[in-house]
Amino acid sequence: MANPGPLHDWIEGLPSKGRYVFSRAEAAEISDGSSQAVEVTLRRFKKRGSVASPRRGFYVVVPPEYRSAGSPPANWFIDDLMRHLGRSYYVALLSAAALHGAGHQQPMAFQVIADADERDIEMGRVRIEFHVSRLIRDAAIQRVQTETGTMAVSTPETTAFDLVRFPASAGHWSNVATVLGELAGSLDPALLAAGSQRVARSDSQRLGWLLDLVEASKLADALADALEGKRLVPTPLSSARDSTGAPLDPRWRVLVNDEVEPDL
């Protein structure tokens, strides 16, 4: 059998070096063939399922144990992918909550917040769901170890505010309340109060109301203290529903226009 070539050998050898991603530009540098030869090699790897491509010019090596899924887990390559795209990002919402111990309901997709719009990614059974936020620059995040390196993840406090900011993506209000109840043990009252300065006041009002609902009184009190002396405008819990006639919570000035039943 003819030698398959240096690019083939290089790709096959990446996992032994702890690497599972590479770019089209790197492949071109390694290959001693033409651009067409590079494409042929990459096409062969993709056809047999040993390489996947979540974005043009970016490739993920798929180990044998993940070939039936079509891709290794998103946390293996999300940091490299977002660097390749030139995007600021962090793992967010239900995916971040699960990493912080609130795993009552495992998310159907790997949820990411970025600084600009990105199309969702589907590679076999692996799905990455993107959301965009103008608050990402000031958001509190932390680096979390993965099988292949590290990735940016929202802190428990940032996660709590994001669940309130993106309720539809977090399974709507009853699920948001459930996750907050599980997340409460990981939340720091002082950090939560500090986080309220980086979000809309209405988000702090909604979060405070939900924390009272799940009986996380110490956390709710910290948010209430942070809002002390500030004007609280009556805020519908659900901005997508009519709030006419909805009861007004006197502490948080939240118009409770949706049914919330946490599963705790």
The answer to whether position 166 is within a domain reads yes
Q: Would you state the structure tokens that stand for residue 251, as one six-digit string?
A: 């502490």
The answer to whether position 109 is within a domain reads yes
Mark whether 99 and 24 lie in a shared domain. Answer: no
The torsion angles phi and psi of 52, rounded to 5 degrees, stand at -125, 160
The answer to whether position 191 is within a domain reads yes
The answer to whether position 86 is within a domain reads yes
Spell out the SS3 assignment of the chain: CCCCCHHHHHHHHCHHHCCCEEEHHHHHHHCCCCHHHHHHHHHHHHHCCCEEEEECCEEEECCHHHCCCCCCCHHHCHHHHHHHHCCCEEECHHHHHHHCCCCCCCCCCEEEEECCCCCCEEECCEEEEEEECCCHHHCCEEEEECCCCEEEEECHHHHHHHHHHCHHHHCHHHHHHHHHHHHHHHCCHHHHHHHHHHCCHHHHHHHHHHHHHCCCHHHHHHHHHHHCCCCCCCEECCCCCCCCCCCECCCCCEECCCCCCCCC
| Spatial distance between the Cα atoms of 139 and 208, rounded to a whole number of angstroms | 19
The torsion angles phi and psi of 21, rounded to 5 degrees, stand at -135, 155
pLDDT of residue 30: 87
pLDDT of residue 260: 96
| Spatial distance between the Cα atoms of 55 and 211, rounded to a whole number of angstroms | 39
Mark whether 37 and 151 lie in a shared domain. Answer: no
The answer to whether position 264 is within a domain reads no
Q: One-letter amino acid identity for 73?
A: P
Mark whether 117 and 180 lie in a shared domain. Answer: yes
Mark whether 46 and 169 lie in a shared domain. Answer: no
CATH number of the domain where residue 23 is located: 1.10.10.10
Mark whether 188 and 82 lie in a shared domain. Answer: yes
Mark whether 140 and 234 lie in a shared domain. Answer: yes
Mark whether 135 and 250 lie in a shared domain. Answer: yes
Mark whether 95 and 62 lie in a shared domain. Answer: no
Question: Is the pTM for the entire model greater than 0.85?
Answer: yes
Mark whether 80 and 51 lie in a shared domain. Answer: no
Q: Among residues 20, 39, 66, which one ends one of the domains?
A: 66
Q: Among residues 66, 92, 116, which one ends one of the domains?
A: 66
Instruction: List Cα–Cα distances, 43 to 48, 63, 97, 102, in angstroms.
Output: 9, 17, 37, 40
Which has the closest alpha carbon to 95: 150, 143, 163?
A: 163
Tens-binned pLDDT, residue by residue, of the chain (264 aa): 344 678 999 999 999 999 999 999 999 988 876 788 899 999 999 999 999 999 999 999 999 999 999 999 999 999 999 999 999 999 999 999 999 999 776 788 999 999 999 999 999 999 999 999 999 999 999 999 999 999 999 999 999 999 999 999 999 999 999 999 999 999 999 999 999 999 999 999 999 999 999 999 999 999 999 999 999 999 999 998 999 999 999 999 999 999 999 987
| Spatial distance between the Cα atoms of 130 and 110, rounded to a whole number of angstroms | 9
Q: Among residues 66, 91, 106, which one ends one of the domains?
A: 66
Domain residues for 19?
6-66
As for how many domains the chain has, the answer is 2
Mark whether 44 and 128 lie in a shared domain. Answer: no
The answer to whether position 159 is within a domain reads yes
The answer to whether position 261 is within a domain reads no
Mind listing the pLDDT tens digit for each residue in 58-94? 999 999 999 999 999 999 999 999 999 999 999 999 9
pLDDT of residue 5: 77
> Are 248 and 255 in contact, with CB atoms under 8 Å apart?
yes
Mark whether 211 and 104 lie in a shared domain. Answer: yes
The answer to whether position 42 is within a domain reads yes
Mark whether 61 and 192 lie in a shared domain. Answer: no
- Chain-centroid distance of CA 110 in Å reads 6
